Amino acid sequence: MIEQALTGHRNYWIWSLALLAMVAGAFYASALQSADGFVHTGMGNNAIWGLYHAQLPFLASIAAASLAVLVPGTLQKYSFLARLAPLAAFLGATASAMSLLFIAADLGMQRRFLTLLLNPSPGAPASWQVPLLLLFLALTLAVGWAQVGAVQKGVKQPAWIRSAVMIAIPAGLALPVISAFMLAVVPGSELWTSPLLAPRLMASGVAAGAGIMLVMAVAAEQLAGFKAGEEALERLAAVAAWAGLGSLVLTGIEAGTVVLGNVTAQTSALGLLYGNSPFASASLFSLLAGAAAIGLLLVPSLRRSSIAAASLGALLAFSVWLQSGLTLILAGQVREGLATVDYAPALPEILLTSGVWAGAVLLITVLLKITASAQLEREGL
């Protein structure tokens, strides 16, 4: 199947080379970091975690979101989501792989990465993160690959796929919960100890994940001749809209509780997000853009136009990334005597982060191309 990745139009090559250039930037930044540590980043006692760690809750929730399509598309007979199942599997795999890279990038002692597997401490939620990510990566990659292979050969899916997906369900659902629990162990950090954090990550993750899958499916349709089916696309758009609405409601309930309770520690934490703080513009933009995208996705005519739906899906995903990626970590770590609001990522940090994202987009591009070609080949028979 790999050979299909190596044939393509000029635009495909330009796109891939541009992404590769960004990946090269990440290699450069990571070489700098292995030589000199974090001195080339904006992190320090003012910001204990930075851009790298800020990706993790978002990515965990995206990995979990892939189950929303993978499970019905694989386990149900005659589901119209079946065609999208490999896309969802590849999204889950990519998000897990990115998480692992960002975890590695954020270690002061990168050569001790394996310690995370060899010396876990089960009472600490953070210990579960890497093993679960590795498991989820292996399962989703194997499932996606086998599904594409089955489409290409025009045979039924191998039976083990069902068991693999069943194992992936608890592993995937655990990822955002672990992300929230890792933050919940910090007493006195009001943004992190909220019991609504895990459900909020899950709902917003499903919304963003469905948004990203919309973009993937529509891009594969427009550019590679993949056929997702109108029904499947509309279903994705509806999932994004309703999950997004759910996450907005949870955010509102949480803010309402804090405002009514009027406990100073909690209201000042909320103020860090929406009050007079440097994080306010990102938080408010995320809230407004998310609400707008969700509102528009609820309009049936917009939802049925694949380009409009994909653009709204992308906007929704971006707004969720701002909220459960950036501000959750960067604002959440601001505490007395500890981190301050005073953090700006440095260039190598940005290069590494965008390089990992570019690598992920490249991987998804190649996988989509393989998926589309497999489908085309089958239909050409």
Please tell me whether residue 107 binds another protein under the rule CB under 8 A: yes
Looking at the Cβ atoms of 84 and 334, the one nearer to another protein is 334
Looking at the Cβ atoms of 49 and 357, the one nearer to another protein is 49
Please tell me whether residue 199 binds another protein under the rule CB under 8 A: no
Kindly write down the DSSP assignment for every residue of 145-211, as one continuous string.
HHHHHHHHHT-PPPTHHHHHHHHHHHHHHHHHHHHHHHHHTSTT-TTTS-TTHHHHHHHHHHHHHHH
Decide: helix, strand or coil at residue 333. coil
| Helical pair 264-274 and 280-297, crossing angle rounded to 10 deg | 70
Looking at the Cβ atoms of 14 and 124, the one nearer to another protein is 124
- Mask of contacts with another protein, 131-170, x by CB under 8 A? ----------------------------------------
Please tell me whether residue 186 binds another protein under the rule CB under 8 A: yes
Please tell me whether residue 261 binds another protein under the rule CB under 8 A: no
Query: Which of 1, 5, 48, 138 is the binder for another protein (CB under 8 A)?
Result: 48
Query: Which of 16, 79, 268, 305 is the binder for another protein (CB under 8 A)?
Result: 268
Size of the site for another protein (CB under 8 A): 54
Write out the E strands in 71-156: none
Decide: helix, strand or coil at residue 334. strand
- Which of 330-350 are b and which e, b meaning 16 or more Cβ less than 10 Å from the residue's Cβ? bbbbbeeeebeeebebbebbb
Q: Which of residues 114-133 bind another protein (CB under 8 A)?
A: 115-116, 119-121, 123-127, 129-130
| C-alpha separations of 189 from 135, 185, 195, 380 in Å | 30, 9, 12, 58
Shortest distance (Å) from residue 81 CB to another protein: 35
Shortest distance (Å) from residue 25 CB to another protein: 23
- Contact yes or no for 240/313 (Cβ under 8 A): yes
Query: Which of 44, 149, 158, 199 is the binder for another protein (CB under 8 A)?
Result: 44
State the chain's maximal CA–CA distance in angstroms.
68
Quote the radius of gyration of the chain (alpha carbons, Å). 21
Looking at the Cβ atoms of 12 and 274, the one nearer to another protein is 274
Residue closest to 191 by CA, chosen among 314, 333, 340, 303: 333
Query: Which of 16, 79, 267, 354 is the binder for another protein (CB under 8 A)?
Result: 267
Please tell me whether residue 185 binds another protein under the rule CB under 8 A: yes
- Mask of contacts with another protein, 308-347, x by CB under 8 A? -------------------------xxxxxx-xxx-----
Determine the Cα–Cα distance for residues 16 and 181; give it in Å rounded to an integer. 37
**Residue ranges in contact with another protein by CB under 8 A:** 37-39, 43-46, 48-49, 103, 106-109, 112-113, 115-116, 119-121, 123-127, 129-130, 182, 185-189, 263-265, 267-268, 271-272, 275-278, 333-338, 340-342
